[in-house]
Chains A and B, each alone.
Chain A
Amino acid sequence: MLQRKYKTCITLVFLSLIMTAPSYASGATDTVSHLQTALIQSMKKGDRLGYPDRVTQLGSIVNQSHDFRLISKVVIGKYWKTLSPDQQKAFTNMFKDLSVSMYANRFNSYGGETFTIISEKDAPRGKRKFVDTSFTKSDGEEIRFLYMLHKVSKKWKILNITVNGVSDLALKRVEYGGILKKNNGFQILLRTLQSQIDKNANGQ
């Protein structure tokens, strides 16, 4: 009887430790880790794969790891509600393609680069997480990538990437806002993004 109670007690203690232990390697870190693994693989195969194949290989993982619908709203900012649903969809799709093309264009060859997960933190508001990572180039230079993620249907998705302190979201928001406030700004913006995609495809 005493032995049974003792075993029950140990089991309960063990379970409580598991349940209260911080999930350091949580879904957020997994999302970032999967993306970075895919990027390294793309780099390793970069010499053999052409740009279209890298787009294909990275497209799925990039689309699944980022919340492009919310990112699109944020980078357009106050102009979002001035767009029609078709325009919103067109921009979101264009932005997705641009993101994939950027990854496919930049991560195209391998020289021993590595990604390292440093830490994961809860955001101050508690709804998001930050995953801090380091990208070590072939010459040893380290670049800090800080990912902001939130949960969508039980999946953690990237909202923003800050590289050495430079927020991609903030940059795009200012740039796109500068174009959108012009006459015919939305069409100019779409043409500009398409031009960037074409440049990436041509390796320029």
Chain B
Amino acid sequence: MRLTQTHTNRYMALGLLLIGLSFSNACSNLNASTVQTDSLETINRPIYTMNDFIDRNFAEPIAETYIDYTPAPVRNSVSNFFDNVAYLNVILNDFLQGKGQQGLADSGRFLVNSTFGLFGIWDHATPLGLEKHNEDFGQTLGVWGVGEGSYLVLPFLGPNTIRDTPDLGVSTVTNILFYVSNPIAVPVALLGFIDKRSRFDEAIKFRNDAAVEPYLFTREAYLQHRKFLIYDGDPPIEDDLFEDDLFPEETFADLEPEVELVSESQPASSEPESQVPHSVQKTEVLQSDQTDSQQDIGNPVSSVPPLPITVSIR
């Protein structure tokens, strides 16, 4: 069958959609339980580095230009539109997870925003009490009891797990734009990618500031956040201080804090609160090691991971 322009447009749009959707999947799913399932780390790390390079040199500048020159209300409308065209995936997974009431509410949300909201540009559903939810097929598999499998970093697409990967396909075929064969599909999908990347720009910057080992930070945050989403924001409370990682002779009691022998009239802290940060005072330990070997792991601070987190303080 000869490849027509329609097919070409559709495949390009599909490619951009996949990138945008997985970006969204990665960006919005940055929680991690304490599962250390990274059997593919030797493969994941180079792919992560490649993704990082692409993000810093291409995606980030484009997204920041978009943010700088597009007014916030316009960006919000763009985001609402793309959220709406992808919302059938949320509705589908509501029902697959047995959340019938939520599925009906989300169906109502979709209908309200698609009609009165002009294809989703304006969010008229939220003021009516039809809140936005976040469901996907990876979460559905988690609810069904499927184990998450190995952590996976996909080229261009970012963090994933074996369990979450099928959502790439499900979310694509449930996206309304997938069925648009008009030549406009490609630029629209590109705009969708830029929109997704811009939404998490602040979160990416926060992660770049906070991470000392960006690959591990991204992995753990992703896995924890996925668990958070599977439990709809209410995961079981883990009263865990990682006691399993103690030396054999150490017990939980050894982790108890040293009692601060201060009187009620004194501040709780057992040592005077210095107004000068300790880091400004040259510590003997740090100074005495100035001659140590300069070999290190390549200065993890300079390695900027491309994938955003949902946590954004400002």
Report which A residues bind B (CB closer than 8 A). 55-56, 59-60, 63-64, 67, 69-70, 73-74, 77-78, 81, 86-87, 90, 93-94, 96-98, 100-102, 105-109, 121, 123-125, 128, 130, 135, 137, 141, 143-144, 146, 148, 150, 152-153, 155, 157, 159, 163-167, 169-176, 178-179, 182-184, 187-197, 199-200, 204
**Which residues of B lie under 8 Å from residue A189 when comparing CB positions?**
212
> Is B269 in the interface zone, CB < 8 Å from A?
yes
**Which residues of A lie under 8 Å from residue B286 when comparing CB positions?**
90, 187, 190-191, 194
Decide if B279 touches A153 in the complex (CB within 8 Å). no
| In the complex with contacts A170-B32, A200-B209, A155-B268 CB distance below 8 A | yes
| In the complex with contacts A102-B210, A150-B257, A184-B296, A171-B221 CB distance below 8 A | yes
Task: Give the contact-size bracket for chain B.
Answer: 35 or more
Give B143-157 as 1s and 0s: 1 = Cβ < 8 Å from A's Cβ atoms: 000000000000000
**Which 4 residue pairs of A and B lie closest in terms of their CB atoms, listed nearest first?**
A165-B228, A93-B278, A165-B31, A123-B239
**Which residues of B lie under 8 Å from residue A192 when comparing CB positions?**
212, 299-301
Decide if B277 touches A90 in the complex (CB within 8 Å). no
Decide if B279 touches A164 in the complex (CB within 8 Å). no
Sample of 16 further A-B pairs with CB below 8 A, known A121-B237, A152-B257, A197-B277:
A60-B273, A63-B273, A64-B267, A78-B245, A81-B247, A90-B284, A106-B313, A106-B314, A148-B239, A152-B260, A164-B31, A166-B32, A166-B228, A169-B241, A175-B213, A175-B216
- What separation, in Å, do the CA atoms of A123 and B209 have in the docked complex? 31
Binds A, one of B46-54, B112-120, B158-166, B304-312: B304-312
| In the complex with contacts A166-B31, A171-B220, A174-B220, A152-B268 CB distance below 8 A | yes
**Which residues of B lie under 8 Å from residue A174 when comparing CB positions?**
36, 213, 216-217, 219-220
Chain B nearest CB, measured from A191 CB (Å): 8
Chain A nearest CB, measured from B98 CB (Å): 22
Which of the residues B31, B211, B257, B296 comes within 8 Å of A188, measured between beta carbons?
B296
- What separation, in Å, do the CA atoms of A200 and B279 have in the docked complex? 13
Binds A, one of B4-12, B13-21, B175-183, B287-295: B287-295
Decide if A170 touches B228 in the complex (CB within 8 Å). no
**Which residues of A lie under 8 Å from residue B301 when comparing CB positions?**
192, 195-196, 199
Residue of B nearest to A69 (CB): B257
**Which residues of B lie under 8 Å from residue A105 when comparing CB positions?**
209
> Is B275 in the interface zone, CB < 8 Å from A?
yes
> Is B39 in the interface zone, CB < 8 Å from A?
no
> Is B224 in the interface zone, CB < 8 Å from A?
yes
Which of the residues A59, A73, A197 comes within 8 Å of B279, measured between beta carbons?
A197
Chain A nearest CB, measured from B151 CB (Å): 12
A-B contact count (CB 8 A): 190
Q: Is the interface of B mostly helix, strand, loop or mixed?
A: loop
Residue of A nearest to B221 (CB): A166
Residue of B nearest to A183 (CB): B295
Chain A nearest CB, measured from B26 CB (Å): 14
**Which residues of A lie under 8 Å from residue B260 when comparing CB positions?**
152-153
Residue of A nearest to B250 (CB): A81
Q: Is the interface of A mostly helix, strand, loop or mixed?
A: helix
**Which residues of B lie under 8 Å from residue A167 when comparing CB positions?**
34, 224, 238
**Which residues of B lie under 8 Å from residue A143 when comparing CB positions?**
311-313
- What separation, in Å, do the CA atoms of A98 and B209 have in the docked complex? 11
Decide if B259 touches A73 in the complex (CB within 8 Å). no
- What separation, in Å, do the CA atoms of A178 and B218 have in the docked complex? 13
Which of the residues B233, B297, B311 comes within 8 Å of A166, measured between beta carbons?
B311
**Which residues of A lie under 8 Å from residue B242 when comparing CB positions?**
74, 77, 169-170, 173
Decide if A94 touches B278 in the complex (CB within 8 Å). yes
**Which residues of B lie under 8 Å from residue A197 when comparing CB positions?**
277, 279
**Which residues of B lie under 8 Å from residue A98 when comparing CB positions?**
279
**Which residues of A lie under 8 Å from residue B273 when comparing CB positions?**
59-60, 63-64
| In the complex with contacts A64-B268, A130-B237, A184-B293, A163-B262 CB distance below 8 A | no
- 10 A-B contacts, Cβ less than 8 Å apart? A109-B314, A143-B313, A163-B311, A166-B30, A166-B309, A175-B213, A179-B297, A188-B296, A192-B299, A199-B301
Decide if A182 touches B297 in the complex (CB within 8 Å). yes
**Which residues of A lie under 8 Å from residue B269 when comparing CB positions?**
63-64
